[in-house]
């Protein structure tokens, strides 16, 4: 089996590439390195890895690659939810235009590889209960709207027979020691800079699901195995069964770092961390679990594992 991983040098993408190398014949890492380090890719030193430094907004060799691979994992995106309200065009181009360009090349591919797309729980918007894949989507951030637009494009291309098959995974908050952003990284970096004060965006009561990247990779590999010969579109939620508050995350980080800082809340958006932040959220993952997926970590252990990786593994 051969694979293309767009955003393959990114946080989730690189962990996926390492997992694929346990059994694959070839994997293309397709990345523009706008938010990732090319050195870690070069350190792989595996002849099965083919590095393509290119931007999906301006593809040049993409057509050749999609004619060769069996599966395309599309992870390339602008992941900055916080900045999506201030730079709306970036999310249109980095997420929607990039996905459109990929779909245009996939429709021309004689091989018709399976497409696996990582979407986001933010497509649902605000919900008062645990949400299943059938729930209506009303995003409250431009990031969520861009992800939903990508989903709609994929659905249209599959539904009209332009591409053979696709699987969409709506991810919860994914954490891990190799991440460069997010609440855990933010807290650790702030406390390293000033161990006496920890600034918290919002009122600290924001409550969401967090999942370790290793469990996320397991989900990606599972759907690829189950649907590589499938025709049509499937959608799955990916997240832990429980939730955790920002205050609880702060407590875990402070405990792991053996610190007792003053907590200062930057509460500008009615308890939210930023404009478009979904304050309380939980995904119903029964559909994916019915396929045999079972995460090894819940929200708390995902956070604890991530803090330890950031502090002690590097």
Active site residues: 143
Contact 156, 105 (CB under 8 A): no
User: Which of the 8 DSSP states describes residue 276?
Assistant: T
248, two tokens: 């609880």
Long-range contact set of residues 13-17: C-beta below 8 Å, sequence gap at least 24: 13/73, 13/75, 13/76, 14/40, 14/41, 14/178, 15/176, 15/178, 15/213, 15/214, 15/216, 15/217, 16/73, 16/75, 16/217, 16/220, 16/221, 17/44, 17/49
Q: Quick check: helix, strand or coil at residue 119?
A: strand
Instruction: Give the Cα separation of 116 and 166 in Å (integer).
Output: 6
E strand intervals along the chain: 2-6, 26-31, 49-53, 71-74, 114-120, 165-171, 173-175, 197-201, 207-208, 210-212, 232-238, 244-245, 262-266
Contact 185, 310 (CB under 8 A): yes
User: Which residues fall within 8 angstroms of residue 39, CB to CB, at 6 or more apart?
Assistant: none
φ, ψ dihedrals at 144, nearest 5°: -60, -40
9, two tokens: 């040098």
């Amino acid at each position: 089996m051969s694979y293309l991983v767009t955003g393959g040098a990114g946080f989730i993408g690189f962990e996926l590439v390492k997992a694929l190398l346990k059994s694959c014949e070839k994997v293309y890492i397709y990345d523009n390195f706008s938010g990732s380090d090319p050195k870690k890719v070069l350190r792989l030193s595996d002849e099965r890895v083919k590095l393509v430094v290119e931007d999906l907004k301006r593809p040049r060799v993409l057509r050749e690659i999609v004619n060769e691979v069996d599966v395309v994992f599309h992870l390339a995106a602008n992941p900055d939810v916080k900045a999506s309200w201030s730079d709306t065009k970036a999310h249109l181009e980095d997420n929607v235009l990039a996905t459109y360009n990929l779909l245009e090349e996939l429709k021309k591919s004689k091989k018709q590889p399976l497409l696996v797309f990582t979407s986001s729980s933010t497509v649902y918007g605000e919900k008062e209960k645990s949400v299943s894949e059938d729930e209506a989507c009303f995003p409250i951030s431009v990031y969520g709207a861009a992800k939903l637009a990508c989903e709609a494009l994929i659905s249209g291309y599959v539904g009209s027979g332009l591409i053979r098959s696709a699987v969409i995974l709506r991810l919860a908050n994914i954490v891990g020691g190799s991440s460069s952003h997010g609440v855990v990284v933010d807290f650790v970096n702030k406390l390293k800079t000033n161990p006496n004060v920890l600034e918290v965006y919002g009122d600290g009561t924001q409550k969401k699901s967090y999942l370790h990247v290793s469990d996320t990779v397991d989900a990606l590999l599972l759907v690829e195995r189950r649907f590589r010969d499938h025709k049509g579109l499937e959608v799955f939620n990916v997240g832990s069964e429980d939730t955790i508050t920002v205050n609880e995350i702060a407590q875990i980080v402070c405990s792991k770092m053996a610190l007792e800082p003053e907590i200062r809340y930057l509460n500008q958006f009615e308890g939210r961390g930023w404009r478009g932040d979904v304050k309380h959220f939980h995904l119903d993952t029964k559909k994916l679990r019915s396929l045999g997926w079972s995460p090894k970590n819940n929200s708390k252990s995902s956070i604890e594992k991530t803090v330890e990786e950031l502090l002690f593994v590097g």
